[in-house]
Chain A
Amino acid sequence: MIMTTTNAVEGRPVQQYLGIVNAQSIIGANIFKDFMAGLRDVFGGRSKTYEKVLEQAKEDALAELGQKAQALGANAILGVDLDFETIGGNGSMLMVIASGTAVRL
């Protein structure tokens, strides 16, 4: 399946618009990852633990988006948009929302 942030795919016109699809993934870093990230906050530099958590959340959201589009009979998702938010009492949970337009090219 083609997933793209662009509104069109070169050389492949849209034959059918199948609807908007969206998916979200909410993931929490566990207490040990928080602790390691806290150390990074003190000493500076990149936090690989949180980067991995974010990457996982993004992959999960895109996977779900693809499944929803596939269920509609789409072979591509155009205009894919990713939003990132923190939720929960003290912002310890990460939410990724993916949305796009399911189409048949």
Chain B
Amino acid sequence: MQSWMATYMGREATVLASEMYWSIGFVGQNGEKQILQWPPAELKVVYRSSDDCSWVTHEGSGSVLLIPGRAAHKWLTAWQEEQSRPWHRREKTRHSGRVLLGASGILAILFAGYFFLAPWLSEKMVSQLSPSTETELGDRLYSVLQGGLIKDSAATIQLQSFVDELGFESPYHIRVQIANDDDINAYAFPGGHIVVNSGLLKELQTYPELAALLAHEFIHVRERHVVKQLFRRWGRSIFLSLIFGDMGKTMSIAAEKASELRSLHYSRTKEAEADTEGLKLLQQRQIDDEGFVRLMQHLKKAEGSIRIPEYLSSHPLTDKRLQVLQASVVADKFNEDPVLEQYFQNIKTYYP
């Protein structure tokens, strides 16, 4: 906004000029305060060097404002020139365009950093992590969780023997724990802890099904899926903190929710890998790989009528998993393993 002293109808006036309107204030003949508002679009200005004044005429009323100096003439002339340009050539439009471009650029960089750079860097860090450090991390995570588990020690000994007999090779020492929990679930920690719920054990009918389950979880451990996923999440959280800090908490939360969906996609990919590689382990060990198919059928039965859209689920849909497995099974190339069968039957005495 600009302000000038002026003369209006022979009286001293004050002028406050903005792009919306010019406000002219003066005291009238009877001493009353008056304020006129003139849109700049209705004004014409001429500079007269004879009296060094800018003569501003209001087209509507024909009134004239005299403002000493060239400043008012310059201001109004520049404003009128700007208004006469097409909208896309005006300085405001160009400025908005530059701001929009800059904002889009920043958003694109942030997007790339959040969804690609941070997870990629995090995975690179995992590759530098030694198995012993990973095991230590997994042990700590497991010790935090195990306080909430109701353990079955006797059956666990049998399950550990089953795992040892399977003899899957890895740099990690596989330690299993049965939790008294009706949820049909099993999960792995970095470094080799695997927890199997009693609810799932009750569903299994043959030892190849148990072998399939353990092979699946073993692949998660061997391929470091869990620690990779943890590092990806931590990497993204650190990235968000660096960018947003304390401000924009809403945006951080929104971005974090989107990140969870992205992580789910990551775990769906890894779950599919665990199925495929787990099946190969069974085949190498010459265990009936139909066990994997039967395991999926148990899971499918347990899902019942609850249908979660795939993009919300951490696992590929069971039907899809079944299709993939059935296409890969070589059912007739296996041997019976009486040792595994015995361990399995011992476990089943606890979970008929």
**Chain A contacts to B: CB under 8 angstroms:** 1-3, 31-32, 34-35, 38, 59, 62-63, 66-67, 69-75, 90, 92, 104
Q: For B5, list chain A residues within 8 Å (CB).
A: 1-2, 75
- List the one stretch of B72-80, B211-219, B243-251 in contact with chain A: B243-251
**Chain B contacts to A: CB under 8 angstroms:** 1, 3-5, 12-16, 18, 23, 25, 27, 33, 35, 102-103, 106, 243, 245-248, 251
**Other A-B pairs, 14, CB within 8 Å; known A32-B102, A66-B3:** A1-B3, A1-B4, A1-B5, A1-B14, A1-B16, A1-B25, A32-B106, A34-B248, A38-B245, A70-B14, A70-B35, A72-B33, A90-B247, A104-B27
Bound: A92/B245 CA distance, A: 12
Q: In the bound complex, do residue A70 and residue B23 qualify as a contact, i.e. CB atoms below 8 Å apart?
A: yes
Ranked nearest first, the 8 interchain pairs of A and B with the lowest CB-CB distance are A73-B33, A70-B25, A63-B1, A1-B14, A1-B3, A75-B14, A66-B16, A32-B103
Q: In the bound complex, do residue B14 and residue A67 qualify as a contact, i.e. CB atoms below 8 Å apart?
A: no
Q: Which of A31, A63, A70, A75 contacts B12 (CB 8 A)?
A: A75
Q: For B12, list chain A residues within 8 Å (CB).
A: 75
Q: How far is the CB of A61 from chain B (nearest CB, A)?
A: 11
Q: Which of A59, A62, A73, A90 contacts B25 (CB 8 A)?
A: A73
Known: A3-B3, A63-B1. A92 touches B16 (CB 8 A): no
Q: For A69, list chain B residues within 8 Å (CB).
A: 14
Chain B facing A: main interface SS? strand
Q: How far is the CB of B300 from chain A (nearest CB, A)?
A: 46
Quick one: closest B residue to A34, CB to CB?
B247
Q: For A72, list chain B residues within 8 Å (CB).
A: 33
Q: How far is the CB of B95 from chain A (nearest CB, A)?
A: 11
Bound: A34/B13 CA distance, A: 42
Bound: A2/B25 CA distance, A: 13
Q: For B246, list chain A residues within 8 Å (CB).
A: 90
Bound: A66/B35 CA distance, A: 12
Q: For A35, list chain B residues within 8 Å (CB).
A: 106, 243
Q: What are 15 residue pairs bridging A and B, where the CB atoms are less than 8 Å apart in the complex?
A: A1-B15, A31-B248, A34-B247, A35-B106, A62-B1, A63-B16, A66-B16, A70-B16, A70-B23, A70-B25, A71-B33, A73-B25, A75-B5, A90-B246, A92-B247
Bound: A68/B219 CA distance, A: 75
Q: How far is the CB of A65 from chain B (nearest CB, A)?
A: 10
Q: For A104, list chain B residues within 8 Å (CB).
A: 27
Bound: A2/B35 CA distance, A: 17
Q: For B18, list chain A residues within 8 Å (CB).
A: 63
Q: Which of A32, A67, A73 contacts B16 (CB 8 A)?
A: A67
Q: For B247, list chain A residues within 8 Å (CB).
A: 31, 34, 90, 92
Bound: A90/B245 CA distance, A: 10
Known: A59-B1, A90-B247. A71 touches B14 (CB 8 A): no
Q: For A74, list chain B residues within 8 Å (CB).
A: 14, 25
Q: How far is the CB of A78 from chain B (nearest CB, A)?
A: 14
Bound: A104/B5 CA distance, A: 12
Q: How far is the CB of A45 from chain B (nearest CB, A)?
A: 18
Q: For B248, list chain A residues within 8 Å (CB).
A: 31, 34
Known: A2-B5, A35-B243. A67 touches B23 (CB 8 A): yes
Bound: A62/B3 CA distance, A: 10
Q: For B13, list chain A residues within 8 Å (CB).
A: 75
Q: How far is the CB of B18 from chain A (nearest CB, A)?
A: 7
